[in-house]
Chain A
């Protein structure tokens, strides 16, 4: 199990590195009628609400699972949340999937899935 985890972690790191290089080099592949400015505009609309929700959730995790170390819990949570989004972005950049309005719902589902996984992990510990 530990080996599988390590392999998955290495694979994810490689995907992230390759994806970020591709992102910087050639950007995302946008569908007709969708553009970078629309993506950034939509991201700005989400930023406030995601920010508020994430802060509340991190504070909740820090208080609820304080026994595991507040700093460690918050750092792990932040890393998992941000890491999931970076992986989604990297896969999108690498695979050249056409980016359209579906991008944000997919990112939201990934965000929520990462939160459920974090909760389950902390509860188990």
Chain B
């Protein structure tokens, strides 16, 4: 008698706990803080880009051109107002496009797309879509409109370049075409740490750098002054350093060349915040250089657009899925009667539990993630069906056998969940993560809540039959 009462109590408690979970999951839960304000204790869903605003960055090929005038000897002439530069006068006018026709090839368009993707990947940006129009070279990049959108946009649109220019003639001495690799390096001094960007060049570039390192130096020369005395004067031949279209400074090369590599200082400090900022900037520059330089000059524009999927469309879709599941539950109730009704209640409890877990584990919910949740619900339905079918067999270990049968029928799904979880792109990993948590929830949820209920229902129905 006592045992019967205990079982009834436990059954009621289980049903109430599941009801509480459903309430918290579908309606939220909040507490009042010291000011009497309501604060939600359950984190919100982390929704994918398609459910919120997105920034659309468009890269179009620069079509500008400049006019260059040559005289009869082929020298460039500086244009003056009021002067007519005609062919009869011996002048030749040439329109020089920023992007010559020879660079406007599909291969170069694809190269620019790869450079943008490489920059996004190296900056650990996993949520984006990129589209190339192969006929016009236009590239469209979609990113979430959030706090990081500005910095992502800068990453995409910054022109990557490295140049050493002669300090007087501005002749290009060395550029990024000879660059092999850029890395961030650190040097720990007695009191401070320094952050460097190390530029390593290929064989040709290294040889050139060695030559330049002998020329662009400080030197001492002897000169005779006004009084006729010979004095030693220090002279220096300097070079301009240009990095990613920004002038870093003018210096003699031994100041920045160590072991045939160029070391550019980004920060020297003992303050962690300053060092982190210096490291971030150096990393950013390294990523830009390592991703490569496009032969085409692009213009970048951006705009913010609303969500790809309207709330109405999403609601309609979820209602359709809901109707399918309700039909499945009705079928279960018809097949298993009262037990089927209880099982349907626990199906909804499973969905509530899974949604709570996804909120607490901060899993990104994209369209693929929603597909993963639907598959988890299907698996839970399959599990319940296997258990209910086995319920009539009053064999020892009925539950274990049902678990094994379910495991064997759904093992391939576990493989997919684990493999997809390792994907870097958010929309693929979202699918894997939702199924992964769905599978874990199936086993834990059923062990904690439904095992007791189904086992006792099974025993009661078999006792009733005997």
- B-contacting residues of A (Cβ < 8 Å)? 33, 35, 37-38, 41, 45-46, 49, 52-53, 56-57, 60-61, 64, 101-102, 104-106, 108-109, 112-113, 115-116, 118-120, 123
Contact = CB atoms under 8 A, between A and B. Distances in A.
A101 B308 contact: yes
Given A49-B420, A52-B419, A119 B412 contact: yes
Interface in B365-414: 367-368, 370-371, 374-375, 378, 382, 405, 408-413
Contacts, number: 78
A61 B133 CA distance: 42
Contact of B410 (A37, A49, A64, A116): A116
A45 B429 CA distance: 11
B425 interface: yes
- From DSSP, what is the main secondary structure of chain B's interface residues? helix
Given A37-B134, A102-B367, A105-B370, A53 B410 contact: no
Contact of B131 (A38, A56, A102, A118): A38
B50 interface: yes
Contacts of A112: 375, 412-413, 416
| List of 7 A-B pairs having minimum Cβ-Cβ separation, nearest first | A105-B371, A115-B412, A53-B419, A57-B412, A119-B409, A53-B416, A38-B131
Interface of B: 50, 129-134, 308, 367-368, 370-371, 374-375, 378, 382, 405, 408-413, 415-416, 419-420, 422-423, 425, 428, 431-432
Given A53-B420, A123-B408, A35 B425 contact: no
22 contacts: A33-B308, A37-B132, A37-B133, A37-B134, A38-B131, A41-B131, A45-B425, A49-B428, A53-B412, A53-B415, A53-B419, A53-B420, A56-B415, A105-B368, A108-B431, A112-B413, A112-B416, A115-B416, A116-B378, A118-B412, A119-B408, A123-B405
Nearest to A100: B308
Contacts of A101: 50, 308, 367
B130 A41 contact: yes
- From DSSP, what is the main secondary structure of chain A's interface residues? helix
A104 B50 CA distance: 14
A33 B141 CA distance: 11
A60 B416 CA distance: 13
Given A46-B428, A101-B367, A108-B368, 19 more contacts: A35-B131, A37-B131, A37-B133, A37-B134, A45-B423, A49-B432, A53-B420, A64-B408, A102-B367, A108-B371, A109-B375, A112-B412, A112-B416, A115-B416, A116-B378, A116-B410, A116-B413, A119-B410, A123-B405
A49 B368 contact: no
A124 B374 CA distance: 25
Given A37-B131, A109-B375, A60 B428 contact: no
B313 to A, nearest CB: 10
A109 B434 CA distance: 13
Contact of B428 (A38, A41, A45, A102): A45
A30 to B, nearest CB: 11
A66 B285 CA distance: 55
A8 B413 CA distance: 26
Chain A CB within 10 A, most for which of B50, B412, B419:
B412
Nearest to A117: B409
Given A53-B416, A60-B412, A119-B410, A105 B428 contact: no
Contacts of B416: 53, 57, 112, 115
